[in-house]
């Protein structure tokens, strides 16, 4: 695709929603078409543009406080997964749950619960407060230790034997760094690499993609941890990488006549938004 600046624009074929998000959004759209409205616990995906699109169709985003007083309604659970307390609240309030939890996350939740029931001391490599991590912690009754950065181990002494899991959207190299850091402190670590490969493989794919262009436009929501991570990957591969969350943030001044431009995004970035960015660049 060419533009008045004669930019050579290419949209990354692998960018767009992961399968877990695709399922959640398709389920939401189906119910919205039938009913005209639908409650969703938390943002259905960490992308404001996609959330606003679905809100225009009738999606109603609620938080845990609102869930606590909601009665006799249908509520969508997004792909990130939920703690047991959410299901208990639904029973108490006569709520019908549409569970769109990602199968990869559900499998991890079951493994965490099994470890917790065995009395294992669990370390979870993840982002504190993240929706997925909240659901994972619930499987351990809040007893797992969450560590976000491999080089920031807690000051307090840890048990000698540890069971290590990971939030599904982390990077394998960072998970391995944390394992080695714990072992260097003298711990025996039973490590379970529970990272989703559809997400983690994007690292190398995007690195190769970004290196092919004069300029890269990376599209993601500001709330997306996956977006922050993959944007960093692109920037390392190509310093001429620009982060945008919406079309209006694009600037013609970034580009020179005849340059090649690659467009890519996070696993929480809708394909339609990537295409909008492509079409806008074609006008420059």
More confident residue, 280 or 156: 280
* Whole-number Å distance between alpha carbons of 235 and 262: 12
* Averaged pLDDT of the chain: 94
Q: Is the pLDDT of residue 226 over 90?
A: no
State pTM to two decimals: 0.89
Average pLDDT over every residue of 205-231: 93
Helix (H, G, I), strand (E, B) or coil at 175: helix
Q: Please indicate whether residue 10 is annotated as part of the active site.
A: no
Confidence at residue 3, expressed as pLDDT on a 0 to 100 scale: 57
Q: Which fold has domain 104-195?
A: Cobalt-precorrin-4 Transmethylase; domain 1 (3.40.1010)
CATH code for the structural domain at 8-16+199-281: 3.40.1010.20
| From 132, 148, 236, 280, the catalytic residue | 132
What is the share, in percent, of the chain residues with pLDDT greater than 70? Answer: 99
Sorting pLDDT into bands at 50, 70 and 90, what band is 176? very high
What is the share, in percent, of the chain residues with pLDDT greater than 90? Answer: 86
Average pLDDT over every residue of 183-207: 91
Quick check: do 8-16+199-281 and 104-195 share a fold?
Answer: yes
Which of 20-24, 72-76, 81-85, 106-110 has the least mean pLDDT? 20-24
Helix (H) or strand (E) holding 59: strand 59-62
235-263: b or e for each residue (b if 16 or more CB lie within 10 Å)?
bebbebbbbbbbeeebeeeebeeebebbb
**What's the CATH architecture for 19-101?**
3-Layer(aba) Sandwich (3.40)
User: Which DSSP category does 29 fall into?
Assistant: H
Confidence at residue 164, expressed as pLDDT on a 0 to 100 scale: 98
* Whole-number Å distance between alpha carbons of 283 and 3: 6
* Domain spans in the chain, listed from the N-terminal domain onward: 8-16+199-281, 19-101, 104-195
Average pLDDT over every residue of 205-227: 94
In this structure, the chain runs to a length of 284
């Amino acid at each position: 695709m060419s533009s008045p600046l004669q930019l050579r624009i290419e949209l990354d074929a692998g960018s767009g929603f992961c399968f877990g998000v695709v399922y959640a959004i398709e389920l939401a759209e189906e119910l919205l078409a039938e009913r005209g409205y639908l409650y969703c616990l938390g943002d259905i995906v960490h992308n404001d543009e996609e959330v606003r699109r679905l809100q225009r169709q009738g999606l109603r985003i609620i938080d845990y406080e609102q869930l606590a007083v909601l009665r006799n309604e249908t509520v969508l659970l997004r792909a990130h997964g939920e703690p047991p307390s959410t299901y208990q609240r639904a029973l108490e309030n006569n709520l019908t749950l549409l569970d769109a939890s990602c199968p990869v996350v559900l499998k991890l939740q079951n493994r965490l619960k099994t470890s917790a029931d065995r009395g294992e001391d669990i370390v979870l490599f993840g982002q504190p407060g993240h929706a997925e991590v909240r659901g994972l912690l619930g499987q351990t009754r809040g007893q797992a230790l969450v560590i976000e950065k491999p080089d920031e181990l807690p000051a307090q002494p840890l048990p000698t034997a540890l069971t290590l899991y990971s939030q599904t959207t982390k990077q394998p190299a960072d998970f391995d760094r944390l394992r080695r850091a714990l072992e260097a402190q003298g711990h025996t670590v039973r490590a379970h690499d529970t990272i989703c490969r559809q997400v983690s493989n994007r690292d190398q794919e995007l690195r190769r993609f970004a290196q092919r262009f004069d300029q890269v436009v990376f599209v993601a929501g500001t709330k997306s941890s996956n977006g922050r991570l993959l944007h960093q990957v692109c920037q390392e591969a190509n310093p001429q990488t620009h982060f945008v969350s919406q079309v209006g943030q694009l600037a013609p001044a970034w580009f020179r006549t005849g340059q090649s431009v690659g467009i890519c995004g996070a696993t929480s970035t809708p394909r339609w938004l990537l295409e909008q960015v492509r079409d806008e660049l074609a006008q420059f």
